[in-house]
Amino acid sequence: MPISVCLIAGNEAHRIRRTLESVADWAGEIIVATDDKVTDGTEQIAAACGAKVVRGAWKDHSTHRNLAAGQATHPWLLALDADEVVSPALRDEIIQVVATAGAGANSTYVAYSFPRCTLYCGRWIRHGDWYPDRIVRLWQRGRAHWSGIAHEKLEVQGRIGKLNHDLLHYIAETIDQQIHKTARYADDFVRQRAREGRKVSFIDLLVRPLWRFCRAYVFRLGFLDGWQGCYIAWTTAFYTATRYAKVLAAQADHPEAH
């Protein structure tokens, strides 16, 4: 198929093969962009699976995704992470829309979103803030680019269609690892707010975490996902509180920068 699959990867030797095998039989090419600190054999595994490997110094997710996309030669691009797997149903749906659109010049949509379903602590999460977790990852070459620091986003020039089947997300982090990542993402949020020149207030810190918990656990039915759903809702609230607290601390330390 005329599809370039674009991955970004750090030290992912323990899980990247499963991702690559889910696309190797039907993608026109696979591109893996690694950072300059990869030492665990990720690049060798990617190359053995037929991927083109490009290496670059890590700046942020958007920069690395654009690095991978810049190497693509096919008219359609599909972005993946090393802990994601294209399900057979989603594969068939992607193949169908790309085959119908061809090179894409006359297609109705220039990009497509699809839901992502996460396996967390032994349970597939089907409610709350983590599902359907619809993400835009399939697009025509030259019609979109990645932007953002804290959470990268695909900026699309044109209409976005919707696919129905799940991308499978095999999150392998322990609770401790997730807490550590929360702090790192909060730091990214602080940098993005400073770059945009946007201030936050005590009201943000007071209200936003409570709203995020209620939205995830009550309104989006996170309570149907057992203890995992409850913990995810609390984690989301904690992450929200942490990032706004860090922005407030940065504003207090460097008021001239805000």
Assess contact for 154 and 134: CB atoms under 8 A.
no
What does the pLDDT look like over 157-190, one tens digit per residue?
Answer: 999 999 999 999 998 667 887 777 777 777 777 7
Assess contact for 113 and 163: CB atoms under 8 A.
yes
pLDDT of residue 213: 97
Cis ω for the linkage preceding 2 (within 30 of 0): no
Mean pLDDT of the region 40-52? 94
pLDDT of residue 176: 80
pLDDT of residue 177: 76
Q: What is the CA 78 to chain-centroid distance, rounded?
A: 12
Residue environment code for 240-255, b if the CB has 16+ CB neighbours within 10 A, otherwise e: bbbbbbbbbebbeeee
pLDDT of residue 200: 86
Mean pLDDT of the region 143-158? 89
Assess contact for 113 and 135: CB atoms under 8 A.
yes
The separation between the first and the last C-alpha atoms of the chain, rounded to the nearest angstrom, is: 49
Fold of 3-169: Spore Coat Polysaccharide Biosynthesis Protein SpsA; Chain A (3.90.550)
pLDDT of residue 255: 65
What does the pLDDT look like over 96-147, one tens digit per residue?
Answer: 999 988 665 557 899 999 999 999 999 999 999 999 999 999 999 999 999 9
